[in-house]
Structure 1
Amino acid sequence: MADHSILVTGATGFLGSSLVRHLASSDAFSVKAPVRHPRVNFPVGVEILPIEDLDASTNWHAALLGVEFVVHTSARVHVMSETVKDPLVEFRKVNVEGTLNLARQAAAAGVKRFIFISSIKVNGESTLPGKPFSAHDDPAPKDAYGVSKLEAETGLYRLAASTGMEVVIIRPVLVYGPSVRANFLTMMQWLFRGVPLPLGAVHNQRSLVSLENLISLIVACINHPRAANQTFLVSDGQDVSTQQLLKKLASALGKPARLMPVPVWLMHGVATLLGRRDLSSRLFGSLQVDISKNQELLGWTPPVSLDQGLRMTAQHFLESRNS
């Protein structure tokens, strides 16, 4: 019989679905997965629960019965091209009001620990080379998504202080892994097709985190006593430039990296003229994180190296093309 009952929100998402499968493979956990569309294939033993949209009015009573831990991965995610008139209002509905509504009900139901998957955007958008963000830095979000995540974190810590429910905050950097979507998938498609890319002169430093390493830290935070009411940053522990990342990923795909050494200042100027400063920042800027707190407090280090994570991601990409 499982030792712990755990509720995972966002169970059909990139992170949530893999986390559910990982937890369900262990005899230590019985897993509840609230979903909007019950016709989802989960491992045997996962309790699938129908749930409405995540907002301030969602009723979590049935889902929280007997639950000891909550891992909250569900969110309105950051998008590169926002279309709504006031993004912060929309982000707050889900990321702040929806999160705190769930957390208040969790505390009332006797949940021991609430793990919130936040974002490195709470710290900011970029770092100077060799000066990584740490979990102890003052938050400095620059966009509506980051602001909403910080407001949720602040509300959760206030709730922890008033109710005794333990809270753990995890701020991932860019997450990649099998079934990754968005820009990372586009990058793999370009490399696979042999598209020449003007990124051969980009010598920034970026932290990334594989899905496997993020899940490993979440599991460590579920019941480690020293994780209670702490904030953690997470990465693979190895930083790379955009140029190095493309070369490593191309190698994992069994393809040459066709990189042209176009000056960064020129590409940044073109991106600015095209209204894509956000993309320019990701491609050319640095964003590093210091994860030493994880080792010091939890004894946790990334079990999967960057190269291993990229190989697993590339292998899944190649297999999906052949299936």
Structure 2
Amino acid sequence: MTNTLTSGDRVLVLGSSGFVGSHLAPVFDALGVELVRFDLHPDPHSARPTQIGDVRDVDALIEAMAGCTAVLNLAAAHHDFGIGTATFESVNVGGARAICAAMEYHGITNLCFYSSVAVYGEHATPPDEHTTPEPVNDYGRSKLAAEAVYRQWEAGGGRRALIVRPAVVFGPRNFANLYKLIRQIDRHRFLPVGPGANRKSMCFVANVVAAIGYLWSAPSRLPDGEPEVYNYVDKPDLASRETVSLVYRALGRREPRARLPLAPVLLAAKPFDLVGRATGKDLPITSARVQKLSAAETAFTADRIREVGFTASVSLPEGIETMVDWYQREGRHATPVVHLPPVDVQR
């Protein structure tokens, strides 16, 4: 058994109704692979049925995996607000254990896990796949622990655990940081802060799902014994001021020449931090958000995936333009729906 995706395979996609999962169908269709959907919620963007279930529920997973030949795990607790440490642990790590148990029940030996560059934590230089992970938050720690669960499962022999660690992913139907930036600029509620020279590693969603298909449809391209781990980032990285300029241009707006100094803006954002902590709401203006966009350097190395032959079809400027176009057609009036996982699952 080669543990590669080939025409006729049937893949259970956990977390299929999420942002990345909703963009998978074209890649799987091109490979001749059947996508079997599993999520806590149905996918409003697809007419294909979704099996409703919790990734921590072994019995539900065993039922959903019947007849499947591979598993792609996109399911995760990942939001910055509304999720406690115990839920990160139970969904991301407990879910990994439940998935392995269900795969062992069915004899499935082919897995792809959608992890995150959050496992690296903070480093002075851009981390690559050989950098020792030092996560600094619950999301990164639980993703790294889940990777360890899958590595232990893979050590059982004859099994494949392909791990992809993307940076921040954006694209149509995503309502995270880039959407909020586009919305603020569109509503005339944004002024550039600081010099904006900080680099921000990002990925366009169509490139990420294409990379998963490329890697998974062939045997491991790494030396024997090398863990099959790939960072994913669209290169070259953009400085934050370049991202802002691209959004203004795509919206057909003139970018302001003035840039506010960083220090007083961070001070002015402190009251919003207090309100956010008191209410548990993710406010559009916080000191952390200002720092992240205007000063924080979040760059990652992603040479390995290019060394094995993958080429992204969409550049970062093209991806930003595509997202702004979606925003103007649909996203401006869309209401983001945040699906938080239950604290625990009923067995």
TM range, smaller chain: 0.7 to 0.9
CA RMSD of aligned residues (A): 2.5
Is 1:312 the equivalent of 2:322? yes
Q: Which moved more, 1:307-316 or 1:27-36?
A: 27-36
Deviations 1:94-144 (A, max 9, x none): 00101221123124323232111111110114x44xx31111100010011
Q: 1:312 to 1:4 in 2, by over 3 A?
A: same
Q: For residues 224 and 39 of structure 1, what CA distance do their matches in structure 2 show? A: 29
Partner of residue 89, structure 1: 86
> Cα gap change, 1:185/1:278 in structure 2, threshold over 3 Å: closer, same or farther?
same
Matched residue type, 1:180? N
Residue in 2 aligned with 1:113? 110
Are the counterparts in 2 of residues 73 and 116 from structure 1 also a CA contact under 8 Å? yes
Given the alignment of the two structures, is residue 62 of structure 1 paired with residue 59 of structure 2, yes or no? no
Please list every run of 5 or more consecutive structure 2 residues that lacks an aligned counterpart in the other structure. 1-5, 274-285, 335-347
Separation in 2 of the partners of 1:147 and 1:259?
41
Per-residue deviation, 1:270: 4.4
After TM superposition, the score normalised by the length of structure 1 is 0.87
Describe how 1:64-79 pairs up with structure 2 within 5 A. Answer: 64-79=65-80
2:154 maps to which residue?
160
* Structure 1 residue 36, shift from structure 2 partner: 3.6
Query: In the aligned structure 1, how far is the partner of 2:253 from the partner of 2:235?
Result: 25
Matches within 5 A, 1:233-272: 233-258=231-256, 260-271=258-269
Q: 1:200 to 1:39 in 2, by over 3 A?
A: closer
Amino acid in structure 2 at the alignment position of 1:30: E
Is the 8 Å Cα contact of residues 23 and 31 (structure 1) preserved in structure 2? no
Distance in structure 2 (CA, Å) of the matches to 1:299 and 1:83: 40
Distance (Å, rounded) in 2 between the aligned partners of 1:83 and 1:212: 28
1:140 matched to 2:142: no
Hey, what does 1:26 align to over in structure 2?
30
Determine what percentage of the aligned residue pairs are the same residue: 24
Are the structure 2 counterparts of residues 164 and 268 from structure 1 closer, same or farther at C-alpha, using a change threshold of 3 Å?
farther
In 2, Cα distance between the equivalents of 1:280 and 1:227?
Answer: 40
The runs of 5 or more residues in structure 1 that have no matched partner are: none
Alpha-carbon distance in structure 2 between the residues aligned to 1:33 and 1:2: 18
2:163 alignment counterpart? 169
Taking the aligned partners of 2:14 and 2:154, their CA distance within structure 1 comes to 19
Return closer, same or farther for 1:61/1:267 CA change in 2, 3 Å cut-off: same
Q: Report the TM-score when normalising by structure 2.
A: 0.81
Native 8 Å contact 2:246 2:320 kept in 1: yes
Stretch moving more, 206-215 or 252-261: 252-261
Measured after TM superposition, the shift of residue 83 of structure 1 is 4.4
1:53–1:170 CA distance, 2 compared to 1 (3 A) = same
Quick one: which amino acid aligns to residue 53 of structure 2? E
Residue number among 280, 292, 300 corresponding to 2:303 in the alignment: 292
CA contact (8 A) 1:210 1:309 kept: yes
Instruction: Tell me the residue number matched to 2:342.
Output: none
Determine if the alignment matches structure 1 residue 11 to structure 2 residue 20: no
Secondary structure in 2 matching 1:95: helix
Q: CA deviation at 1:76?
A: 0.9
> Which of these residues, 35, 39, 45, is aligned with residue 35 of structure 1?
39
SS of the counterpart of 1:224? coil
Residues 156, 24 of structure 1: CA spacing in aligned structure 2 closer, same or farther, 3 A cutoff?
closer
Distance verdict in 2 for CA 1:68–1:263, change over 3 Å: same
Runs of 4+ residues over 3 Å off in structure 1: 35-41, 265-278
- Distance in 2 between the 1:27 and 1:149 partners? 28
133 and 35 in structure 1: CA distance in 2 versus 1, 3 angstrom threshold: same
Residue 222 in structure 1 maps to residue 223 in structure 2: no
**Count of paired positions:** 311
Between the two structures, name the one with larger relative contact order (CA 8 Å, sep ≥ 6): 2
- Cα distance in structure 2, aligned partners of 1:188 and 1:88: 31
Distance 1:281 1:135, change over 3 A: farther
In 1, Cα distance between the equivalents of 2:322 and 2:203?
13
Distance in 2, matches of 1:41 and 1:265, equals: 42
